[in-house]
Amino acid sequence: TAAILSRASWSLQSVNPGLKTNSSKEPKFTKCRSPERETFSCHWTDAVHHGSKSLGPIQLFYTRRNIQEWTQEWKECPDYVSAGENSCYFNSSFTSIWIPYCIKLTSNGGTVDEKCFSVDEIVQPDPPIALNWTLLNVSLTGIHADIQVRWEAPPNADIQKGWMVLEYELQYKEVNETKWKMMDPILSTSVPVYSLKVDKEYEVRVRSKQRNSGNYGEFSEVLYVTLPQMNQFTCEEDFYFPWLLIIIFGIFGLTVMLFVFLFSKQQRKEN
């Protein structure tokens, strides 16, 4: 694939020997992204005009390459609308997962930017959804608590049939903090978070990537975790703990007294 992409890039230069270094006023690609390995879209910046000279209409052309066929056949973008302004959308009919693509932006017949890639390299899943949490336990001191965070995979990611295998990264922080704490990537859609401070509010977010390739997608909506106040647990412990201790010592005392009584009674009988 690397050799094919290299040849495709060289082919672009040979077709456009006068290709200029992209200046700040010319449109350039910002990103190409596939959310589910079945479609993808490419986006570019607006043209900035200086003086009387202006660029003509911006068009995107693409070509697909394979080892058996190496022809220079450029086709125009199939859909300039669906992915928004300054974009080109490729639906499943125009998407091949393992065949490299080369794309170029043109204006007035000249190329202003170009890019080569395979779809598998630009996978960025949509955010996970339906985040929720449950309380696992509270420490005996009532200072820390453990929770379980759960979520669902992006709706358009076909994980049931194994077309995509997603890896998740959970981040959390106290609401008044600026730095997120990052947990190790996992493959499951739930993870315990330990030793959170009681009487604090936390923010939790999750993002995902295709395992072994692609980049992380956008984060999910923030999940707010408000743990019960410490004094609630303290009062509860203060209420139950002494009574339990009294009951235990009471039973023990009664047992000792009963044993002493029976023992003394037995001694009197023997005398």
pLDDT, one tens digit per residue, over 103-152 is: 999 998 899 999 999 999 999 999 999 999 999 999 998 899 999 999 99
Look at residues 121, 140, 161 and tell me which one is the last residue of a structural domain.
Answer: 121
Same domain for 222 and 133: yes
pLDDT at 241 over 60: no
Residue at a domain's end among 121, 148, 176 = 121
Flag whether 89 is in a domain: yes
> Among 79-83, 86-90, 121-125, 238-242, whose mean pLDDT is lowest?
238-242
The reply to whether 40 and 61 lie within a common domain is yes
Report the pLDDT averaged over residues 233-251: 60
**Model-wide pTM > 0.75:** no
Dihedral in degrees, nearest 10, Cα atoms 111, 116, 119, 122: -90
Confidence class of residue 256 from pLDDT cuts 50, 70 and 90?
A: confident
Q: How does pLDDT run across 150-160, given as a tens digit for each residue?
A: 999 999 999 88
Q: Where a domain ends, among 99, 121, 143?
A: 121
The domain of 218 spans 129-226
Q: What is the pLDDT of residues 11-40, one digit of tens each?
A: 444 344 334 444 457 899 999 999 999 999
111 and 88 in a common domain:
yes
Q: Which residues contact 221 (CB under 8 A, 6 or more apart)?
A: 127, 131, 205
Number of domains in the chain: 2
pLDDT in tens, 54-79: 678 899 999 987 655 556 689 999 99
Provide DSSP, 29-80: EEEEEBSSSS-EEEEEPPP--BTTB-----EEEEEE--SS------EE-S-S
Q: What is the pLDDT of residue 109?
A: 84
